[in-house]
Amino acid sequence: MKILVTGGAGFIGSNFIHNWLESHPTDKIINLDKLTYCGNLDNLKDVENNPNYQFVKGDICDEEVVNGLVAEVDTIVHFAAESHVDRSIAGYAREFVQTNVVGTQILLEAAVRSGGRRFHHISTDEVFGALNLASSVKFKENTAYDPRSPYSASKAASDHLVRAYGVSFGLPITITNTSNNYGPFQYPEKLLPLAITNLIEGKKVPIYGDGLYVRDWLYVDDHCRAIDLVLQKGKIGETYCIGGLTDDVNNLELVRKVLKIMNKDESCLEYIKDRPGHDRRYAVDWSKAKKELGYKPQCELDECLEKTVEWYQKNEAWWRPIKSGKHFSAWQQKQYQK
């Protein structure tokens, strides 16, 4: 198999490349990444000399580049996206529409033009909106879309485009809607890496509002295994919800777990003004993926939180330049939290 991975220098994309080359050492991967603020080739240093890996710096909105690369492969795994909710709210919505909607359409068109390339689209549970804290309901594949931020609206639009190209042009597509990922190489604007790195630096951890925002937490290796299963066994035209082993863990509980691992106390917390339109609860029902693909996450939250903390403690040379660089602003320091 020869795969075009878009956004492969980002958090989940780079982990997927590591996982795929380890599990499928004879397959070839082309990584197309624009290297925006959260793309980092340091994430892929250990594979850069692998003869089955190729990096191409480029934009998924560049039709010439995309058409040429898609013609070389048989499968596309599409990670590339603007993904941070706060940035979409704080005046960058146009970038989200351009990358997440227009960029996806350009890739889909190239896949059709090249004879119908296999197209797997990585999406989010945020397209489904929010759940009530008192409810036991979880998102399923047939949950109605109800995006509540420019970010989730742009991802919802890209999901609809992928399905439309599957119907209109017979493109062999699949989609995964996943919960909150965490693990190595996550850009330190997100809740967990921001909390961990701030604590290492002796800084406070920002908590939005009352902190009682519930998320389903998925370790990135489990996500990568799920994508592998979808590519090997997934039914064309289908969507699969991918979640972790956690149920109803709120942000405050999560950060308290990190405090315990790092031997810190709650004096390290700083409650800040809430994000506009902050969704209260996400929860994912992954029973379809279990039944059809044999998917089951392997990573318990407490165990993999420890692994994640340990990774950031051992890899200060990776994240310190990011946090001190021009892209990680004071605004991000105070507000970046998914």
Q: What is the pLDDT along the chain (338 residues), one digit of tens a residue?
A: 999 999 999 999 999 999 999 999 999 999 999 998 888 999 999 999 999 999 999 999 999 999 999 999 999 999 999 877 878 888 889 999 999 999 999 999 999 999 999 999 999 999 999 999 888 899 999 999 999 999 999 999 999 999 999 999 999 999 999 999 999 999 998 899 999 999 999 999 999 999 999 999 999 999 999 999 999 999 999 999 999 988 779 999 999 999 999 999 999 999 999 888 788 899 999 999 999 999 999 999 999 999 999 999 999 999 999 888 755 444 444 443 33
Report the residue count for the chain. Answer: 338
pLDDT score recorded for residue 331: 42
The pLDDT assigned to 86 comes to 76
165 given a catalytic annotation: no
- pLDDT given for residue 246 in this prediction: 80
Say which residue the tokens 């937490």 belong to: 217
Is 144 domain-assigned?
A: yes
Catalytic-labelled residue, pool 33, 86, 109, 126: 126
Q: CA–CA separation, 166 vs 112, rounded Å? A: 10
Contact between residue 197 and residue 323 where contact means Cβ atoms under 8 Å apart: yes
- 8 Å CB contact between 80 and 34: yes
Quote the pTM value: 0.93
CATH code for position 133: 3.40.50.720
Is residue 193 domain-resident?
Answer: no
CA dist 217 and 254 (Å) reads 10
Within a domain: 263: no
Catalytic residue among 53, 151, 208, 213: 151
Count structural domains, the chain: 1
Asked whether residue 170 is domain-assigned, the answer is yes
Check residue 244 and give its pLDDT.
Answer: 94
Residue 33 is among the residues annotated as catalytic for this protein: no
Rounded distance between C-alpha atoms, residue 258 and residue 22, angstroms: 30
pLDDT for residue 336: 38
What is the per-residue pLDDT for 310? 98
Whether 332 is in a domain gets the answer no
250 located within any domain: no
Distance CA 312, CA 252 (A): 20
Angstrom distances, CA of residue 218 to CA of 70, 115, 249:
30, 35, 12
Verify whether residue 125 is a known catalytic residue: yes
Residue 265 within any structural domain of the chain: no
Residue 312 lies in a domain: no
Residue whose tokens read 């902190």: 211
Sequence-distant (≥ 6) Cβ neighbours of residue 8 within 8 angstroms: 14, 16, 17, 29, 31, 32, 33, 44, 55, 79
Q: Which long-range contacts (CB under 8 A, 24 or more apart) does 329-332 make?
A: 331/90, 332/86, 332/189
Catalytic residue among 59, 125, 159, 279: 125
Domain that holds residue 16: 2-187+216-244+281-299
